[in-house]
Structure 1
Amino acid sequence: MTEKVRKPNIYDVAKLAGVSHQTVSRVINNADYIKEDTRSKVQSAMQELGYVPNAAARALVTAKSKIVGILVSDIVYHGPAGMMHAMEKEARRGGYFAISASVDPLDNDSIAQGIEHLRRVGIEGLVVITPQSDSVQAVERLVKDIPVVFIDSPHNSTELSAELGNYEGAKRATEHLISLGHKKIVHVAGPSEWFDSAPRVSGYSDAMKSAKLEPKVFAGDWSVPTGYEIGKNLELDQSKVTAIFAANDHLALGLMRALRQRGYDIPQRVSIIGFDDVPEAAFYEPPLTTMRPDFAELGRVAMEKMLGHITREATLSSDELIPELIVRESTALPANL
């Protein structure tokens, strides 16, 4: 049987460096009152032995774990996944690590367990990507002693926040259709419990009303099957609808599939615009006109705010990133009906 090799500890470092273990601890925790020659001896001993300080133990002494937690739901969607990667990269750039806990945003026990998991590793701050009211209220109730950055939450008037311009993006999407000459434009909305949905409905409705047009909203969610089912039953001929603004690209894909099966040409008979610019949107048939949010920048800004607040360099403010209109082949001038 192979004998297990013992890892070096703080006492081994102290012995090799000829100092006390308390002195080694002070060097590890960057105390200011250590002589440079002593610090150098300890660091050399650590390197020679291959000693790596235990982050959790260090956090107990310094109250600085250099770890930021991310509470996330629905990571299968394009937006949260893009934000996560950017946040992790920004945290490393700032000398921190980001760890995440995935939760069910509609289950208070799941949220509490996720927060507890992150708290056990000594996080210095928390970024929340759970765009539902219940989950945000749970975080506000359970986390009071560390900074919290909410992404896309209306509950952030006094909190650090990073905002996606859902209202303005939806308004611009609708204005694009109006500028082509469409007058009968409907909106297929996202799920009502998501914060992203309401401002997209408002942006669409306000753009329609500003153009003296009548808004009409169909309730949906974020899924392809829902878009497909709505598309199978959407009445276009009597209502003379010529354009659809879908709350996300997956809804748009389902709508396009159903409408083509019913014999409607896109965009010759009906124009469709989406929201999110998922990677496959350019490969839809036809390629989808959509709004492109900069999810990576949103994640980066959120983590930048968190690290700035931890290091006392931040102000309580909110940034809103406006999505970009990406014109492809699914929108065109309206047909003469």
Structure 2
Amino acid sequence: MSVTFKDVAQLAKVSTQTVSRVTNGSKNVAAETRKRVFIAIEQLGYVPNKGAQILARAKSKFVGVITVDILHHGASNFVRGIHQQSKELDHEISLSLLTDASFENVIASIKEFKSLRIEFIIINVPLLKEQAEQIVTQFQTQQFIFIDIPDNTQAHSICADHFTGAIQAANLMLTLQKKHILLLSGPKNTLAAEQRIKGWKKTLKAKHIVGLLYGNWAAETGYKLTKNCLKTGIIFDAVLVGNDQMALGVLRALSEFNLNVPTDVAIIGFDNTEDSAYYSPPLTTIEQSFSDIGKQAVLSVFHNAKNQHSQFTHQKFKTTLIERQSTGPSSHLL
């Protein structure tokens, strides 16, 4: 006995009209409701009628993008690059914004894109090697490119050269003859944070590092971590920070303790956000081009679709040291 719309509707606890809207790709359905319908379809093994099956074989003119909150500088510029390049290739983008970037939510987003016949999917969510490989194996009709996953993963990926960028920052601190350097990283178990830590540690001697602390990329954690170090008497003359937002919090904490930047403490961030040049003082940072990475992600996922038997590629984008007043006079003048 074949499964019907009514069966799906009963299991998902929605109307048959809602099931119809979901299967036809209507956007006028709540995300939670849409998710229940997809789960019911999968559990029941629902197969649309012949006409719908023919339609389903047609490819969508959308690029699916699964990303963390685009309120963050990196994610917003990354999506902007994807949108610009997709337009060049006569495609629009379909966004799945994850406030909870769990693996389960990533899988749910992929299933939704698949139901909408979206072939090209770009994933900008921190994933483990095993998770990315599971996605590639589980969804073989989709083309994926991942942002910031380990380069030994059996999947296509692209990222900034976080390791080299961190070395650039650490070398500048050594040029400035800094002896007591505090490291403020992004979250554990994220490729960007791990590679930046490796770059810092490769360049600095252990005696130069007074501490390694982890934040969550937000200014608040940079502020709280720095303030706690100052309260507990940790002495440092430089801070290497995982990103510019955290560096903003570091500046606030140092100001509250009447410490001058760069005279007392030099600071280097990472990303070169649009407002980092307007911090007080303007922030020395490592630039990575989120927009260019987004554009290349689109070009790569289209290329990979035409060359499906090629080896997995792991592209890295060059980083650039941008010197400003948070480290004092340019190192070229020293």
The two structures have a TM-score, normalised by structure 1, of: 0.74
Larger Rg: 1 or 2? 1
Instruction: Classify 1:170/1:257 alpha carbon distance in 2 versus 1 (closer, same or farther; 3 Å).
Output: same
Matched ranges for 1:68-83 at <5 A: 68-83=63-78
Counterpart residue identity of residue 200, structure 1:
R
Q: Does 1:290 align with 2:294?
A: no
- What are structure 2's unaligned runs of at least 5 residues? 1-50, 330-334
* Correspondence list, 1:182-261, <5 A: 182-209=178-205, 213-214=208-209, 216-235=211-230, 240-261=235-256
Percent identity (aligned)? 26
2:114 and 2:127 map into 1 onto residues whose CA distance is 21
Alpha-carbon distance between aligned partners in 2 of 1:162 and 1:67, rounded to the nearest angstrom? 20
Q: Flag the 1:291–1:255 CA change in 2: closer, same or farther, 3 A.
A: same
- Name the count of aligned residue pairs: 277
C-alpha distance in structure 2 between counterparts of 1:318 and 1:73, whole Å: 21
Q: CA separation of 1:315/1:94 partners in 2, compared to 1, >3 Å: closer, same or farther?
A: farther
Determine the structure 1 residue equivalent to 2:111. 116
- Does residue 263 of structure 1 match 2:246? no
- Residue 122 (structure 2) pairs with residue 99 (structure 1): no
Q: Per-residue deviation at 1:282?
A: 0.8
Determine the C-alpha separation between the residues in 1 that align with 2:133 and 2:222: 30
Distance 1:182 1:296 in 2: 33
Match of 2:148 among 147, 152, 155: 152
CA distance in 1, matches of 2:232, 2:265: 11
Give the letter for the 1:307 counterpart.
F
TM-score if structure 2 supplies the norm length?
Answer: 0.75
Greater alpha carbon shift after TM alignment, 72-81 vs 311-320: 311-320
Give 1:231's aligned amino acid.
Answer: T
Shift of 1:102: 1.4
Structure-2 separation of matches of 1:160 and 1:298: 13
CA distance in 2, matches of 1:132, 1:166: 16
Q: CA deviation at 1:145?
A: 2.5
Is 1:139 the counterpart of 2:147? The answer is: no
Distance in 2 of aligned mates of 1:156 and 1:99: 29
Q: 1:130 aligns with which of 125, 141, 159?
A: 125
2:25 match: none
Letter in 2 for 1:292: E
Give the equivalent residue in structure 2 for 1:174.
170
Inter-CA distance 251–59: structure 2 relative to 1 (3 Å threshold): farther
Secondary structure at the counterpart of residue 216 of structure 1: strand
CA contact (8 A) 1:136 1:155 kept: no
Aligned-residue Cα RMSD (Å) equals 2.7
Residue aligned with 1:72, SS: strand
Moved more, 76-85 or 138-147: 138-147
Q: Which stretch of structure 1 is more off in the superposition, 134-143 or 222-231?
A: 134-143
Counterpart residue identity of residue 244, structure 2: D
* Matched residue SS, 2:145: strand
